[in-house]
Amino acid sequence: MTTEEAHQAQAAQDSNAAKEASAADKPNAATARAERAYIARSRRRFQLICLGFVIGFMLVGGRLVSMGMNFQVAPDPGFYDTTTTVHRPDLLDRKGRLLATDIKGATLFADPLRVIDSDELVEKVSTVLPDIDAADIRKRINKGGRFVNIRRELTPSQQAEIHALGVPGLGFVEEYRRVYPVGATASHVVGFVDIDNNGLAGMERFVDQNPQLSFMNAETPAGEETVTLSLDLGVQHVLHEELQNAISTYKAKAAAGVVLDVHSGEVVGLASLPDYDPNHREQALDKDRHDRVTAGVYELGSIFKLVTVAAGLDAGICSVHSVYDATHAIKIGRFSIGDFHGLHRPITVEEVFTHSSNIGAAKIAMDVGVDRHQDFLRRLGLLNSTMTEIGATAAPLFPKDWKKINTMTIAFGHGLSVTPLQFAAAAIPIVNGGVKVQPTFLPRSRAEGMASGTRVLKTSTSDQMVRLMRLNAMEGTGKQANAEGYRVGGKTGTAEKVVNGKYARSALLNSFVATFPADAPEYIVLVMLDEPQKVKESKFLHTAGANAAPTVGSVIARIAPILGVQPNLDLEKAAASLPRHGFDDSVVASY
């Protein structure tokens, strides 16, 4: 073989080897591509799985958050859910003293699946709770289920006794229970709650309607929410006790009273007896225990002369020295208007007030005129309900067809029925310089009260009225209200009640409205006694000057030091002087 042939053979051999190598490489490339595709698919699957886990965790987390924020989650069927008992903020008086709070109580229940002998269970529980309905409880246990309520609001001692019985199938559920440490002392203001701790009356209901209140007050050291009221517990205790003393002393059917700050409008004390203990809320259902200060309307008698004389002075139709003839009774058709202890001579407006002349008051009202008299009553808030945090006062009752005779009788407190709180609020501008301030059961500064008020009469009118009130307490029908050193001024009201369609001289509703200190008024006190009797302590009289007035005097003598009013015996001995008002007229609405 030649060299050339040898080269050709070698080339052919190399070519065949290359083809064989190429053929061998084709399967390897396909395999690599397949592997790469598999890896890509695996990566995508892994990413999808990871995404699924992330979405799943997000859904679960979102659900947990929503459940945590939802306070209305329904309980499992057959089980009592403790979240249905509302945890309420503490109610405090203006000085931080406790009026109402929550404690944890216990509900006794039976789990029928765990009860071995229902007869034994009922028999043993009855030894601790003898008033339970044994037959009903046995019937409900025998029906089955998982929860049979036996008794709510157990006392700690009852819970301990039942626990000691060791009866299978019994259990306890903790829940909040409302308690009132001062009992009935402030019940008509504080109110009460139902068995589920929901507010039903008074400030308890108002707090439920305005939950933001608890965020506006400081928390207790234990972190509990609070709501502060305008009440002063010391004043409240005195008022409550003195009203109780008055009922006992003068054999009255009922009594009511209120103390107001004349600049802030704060209700510092309010009591109505008979009352109820909110720890025993069923007592509130007794119709005789209603709040007479805000829910009852009454013809309040001669304290309305405070309004009548103020209307005459403010309109400029008379002065304190103007003279009205009270020699004879006023005859209008078959009606006659006379005086209880008449002077039977011409008398000044000052004497109309201090001697409580019906004739003089009626003649002043006639000079004022029907329309102007009505307008003055409306400006003072006596013809409409007064809205407060514990609700609107009862609507006043007045004649639909208001005639001249109605103006004359309303002038001395007959023919218009209002609540004691309404009248006390109407007296505020008469003594504070002429500014009507809305009464409130929440704390408010004096500057805020006056700034939010509306001028309804002249400052000069207020000054003259306070002077007349002071004279009445020193020389007139209200002498027994004069608490030494505290410069009391006031007006009596003795109103005959309507019995069988006629006014009865034997059934009186007596009241006294006062302000103190008269040289610079700070507070209004109004007390009302229902049918006080003639007793030795009142010198066998049953008019307001003999019972309502001394009751107010006793209240003021005790609450003045609590309220920081300093006694001043020098002023007590001096002649009555015009009051000083420390608020600039620029902060109130124009007259």
CB 485 within 8 A of CB 509: no
Query: Distance between CA atoms of 144 and 141, rounded to whole angstroms?
Result: 6
**Cα–chain center distance at 493:** 28
Residue in this structure with the two tokens 């005779």, named with its chain if needed = 405
Question: Mapping DSSP to helix (H, G, I), strand (E, B) and coil, where does residue 90 land?
Answer: strand
Q: Which residues pair with 504 in a beta bridge?
A: 497
Indicate the DSSP class of residue 199.
Answer: B
Residue in this structure with the two tokens 């700690």, named with its chain if needed = 156
Question: Mapping DSSP to helix (H, G, I), strand (E, B) and coil, where does residue 289 land?
Answer: helix
Q: Please, what's the b/e burial string for 447-477 (b: 16 or more CB within 10 A of its CB; e: otherwise)?
A: ebbbebbebbbbbebbbbbbbbbbbbbbebb
Structure tokens at 148: 């049979």
Question: Mapping DSSP to helix (H, G, I), strand (E, B) and coil, where does residue 73 land?
Answer: coil
Residue 343 burial by Cβ neighbours in a 10 Å radius (0-12, 13-18, 19+): middle
Which of 210, 487, 429 is CA-nearest to residue 307? 429
CB 141 within 8 A of CB 118: yes
Q: Which residues are catalytic?
A: 302
Instruction: Find the DSSP H helices in 171-286.
Output: 187-190, 202-209, 233-250
